[in-house]
Structures are given as C-alpha cells and as structure tokens.
Amino acid sequence: MLRIRSLQSRKMGSIAAANKKPHAVFIPYPTQSHIKALLKLSKLLHHRGFHITFVNTEFNHRRFLKSQGPNSLDGLPDFRFEAIPDGLPLSEEDATQDIILLCQYIRKRSMVAPFLELLTKLNHRATTSNINPPVTCIVSDGLMLHSRTLMEKGIIPLKDEASLTNGFLETVIDWIPGFEGIRLKDFSSFIRTTNPNETLLDYSSTSTVGLEKASALILHTFDALESHVLKAVSSMYPHTYAIGPLQRLLDRVPENSSEKVGYHLWKEDTECLKWLDTKPPNSVLYVNFGSIAVTTPQQLVEFGMGLANSKQNFLWIIRPDLVTGESAILPAELAVETKERGKIASWCPQEQGFCLDWYRDDDYDTAVSLQVGFLLAKLN
C-alpha cells in the first residue's frame, strides 16, 4: 500500500523546460521487498515523464553499491538516488537490519529531520539550477492493517499462550469491509503475542496514521483479483488506484539506464540461471525464505532433508544472513544426495528466472507467482 502526498506548488521564476516535469520523491520502508516495489513503480512513472528522486537509507545505499557495483546508482539526470541516515547503530553490511530495532527507530521519527532537510535541498536546488524540478509529490509505503481496531476491541494482544492452541485463532472477524469471513489466524503472525508492548504490533497499529491526509492510495493488486477489497477501500479512501502487477507493466517499457538499476541488496548469483537451463520446463522447486525471515541451524537442516526426500529438482536460496548468528552449514550427505538435482545460491535474479519455464512451485512472492501462473506454497 503506497501513499502519495501532493505538495503545494511554488513560484520558481525562470525554469528550463526540462525542469517543469512533475517531481516524485520515493521513500520506501527500508527493507528489500518494500524498496523493490517502489523502485518498480518509480521506473514506470519515470517512463511517463516524471523526474524521480529515490531515497534510501545510507545503510541500504551502501548495500546497493556493494551488490550492484560502485556506479550502479548513477542513474540518469532525471532519475536520481539520495541517501539519508536512519539513526540506527552500525551493523553488518551484508545482512538485513534488526527489524524490531528498525521499527523502533522509525517510531521515534529518526528519519524525519534528514528527510525534511533533503526536501528543502531539492526545492532550493530547483530555484538555483536545472538539476531537478521542485518536488510535487511524495510516495511512501505503509501497512493497510486493522490491528489498531483489533486492539481496541480487546481481541489482541492474546490473553495467554493457550489462545494459540485452543481454537481462539479461528475467531471470525466479520466487521472489516471487503474481508468478510476472515479469521484471526489469517492476519500476519505478529498479532499472535501476549505482550501489549510488542514492537511490531504497536508499529502496525500506528502505521496507518495520516492516511486521511494522503492525496491518493496505490495498491499493488488488480480488480479481477480483489474487486471486493478495492471497493471497500475506495469507500474509505476515494482516490484509490490498483496498479498491479508491476512487473507486467515494466515488461512493456523500453529498457534505458533507469531500467538497468537492480532491485536487490544481495549480489545475484547468475550461475543458477545456467543451471536452470539444464532442467526440463516446470520441473524445479524454487525455495526462498525472502529477505527478512531467519532460521536456526536445526531448521535449515530439517528443511534441506525435506528437499532431499522430495526427490525433486530444486533451487534453494540461502541468504548470507539466513541462519541466526551463524553460517549456513548443511550436512555433507545432503550435498551428495542432491548433487544432480539441487542448486543452492545466495540470491537469484528473480525477474529473469520467473519469466522462464523452470519453476514448479515457490515460497517467495505471491504477486509474481500469480503474474506468471505458477503454483505457490507458503510456509508460516
């Protein structure tokens, strides 16, 4: 869910014609999937004539340069990248930041002052040079959740741990427009807490504050999939637009320098594509835990043995930071058992891979799977 905030236009005096473009400033929640979605949208708007400023945290900016190359964010004159501090202590460069700590610092508004300074700099630069036009809108992303109402109704946090197993999670929540019949267990797993001060619960309950001030909402979905949801959201926020699936739209855009900017904070292993070329169509299980989830060493081994016992071809993405506090080490017998039908990579060029015919199942991205028509299995 994306929020667009229009900014009042200012008198700029004499500005070159190229400086009269609408200027959208994008600021994503600073994790992989959020950055990726907004970067795709920014490329689409750039193709339609927008000047783009894409704002990363300094931490993620360094990660992009490390994974994509020192000149990867040079962009174009009208597609530029900026970086602001997030206020967090320094952490390992090739790992996702602590999500709990990140939410805490966002709640403290530690990035607000640097972001406002950046907007001031951009608008000042618009009056003194042709580097960029004045800022006309801000595009940010957030969570479209009803956790605050669930808390107000006393449904969450859970009274005790027994609620996890006594059937309470089967409770039907029948008062959310567009989601009639949804059960409590269908919500994100972070609501399953007995702690009223749980950081993720508190963050989600406050993340929609200010939605009423947004000029528009953009949802990464499409009418044929969720028409009832879109109708319900539009009744609350009239300027709601469904724009999914983003990758299908990007596939129609001629490639230029902005389109070559990668989406990933980890270096992509292109060797896995060569390995996939050796496999028959629709024969490979794609296993990816995403960019945030972590496992214990025991869980990793157990999952690996499950893949071995499946007797299927598989491509398994194991991030450098997937195992909590340790390196990912798998038993030697697992490698022997799966050497002809298994491939392990640190990160995969997903846009290239999913456009081909190898995947039979995956555990990564619902939108991409729907877009290309693959079966999807989710592990919660």
**Residues labelled catalytic:** 34, 141
Say how far apart CA 185 and CA 176 lie, in whole Å: 15
For 334-352, give one letter per residue: b (16+ CB within 10 A) or e. beebbeebbbbbbbbbbbe
List helix spans (H) across 95-198. 99-107, 112-128, 147-152
Rounded to 10 degrees, the C-alpha dihedral 233/239/245/246 comes to -140
Beta carbons of 244 and 367 less than 8 angstroms apart:
yes
List helix spans (H) across 171-222. 199-206
Rounded to 10 degrees, the C-alpha dihedral 45/46/50/54 comes to 90
Percent of the chain that is helix, strand, coil (3-state, to 5): 40, 15, 45
Backbone angles phi, psi at 183, to 5 degrees: -100, 160
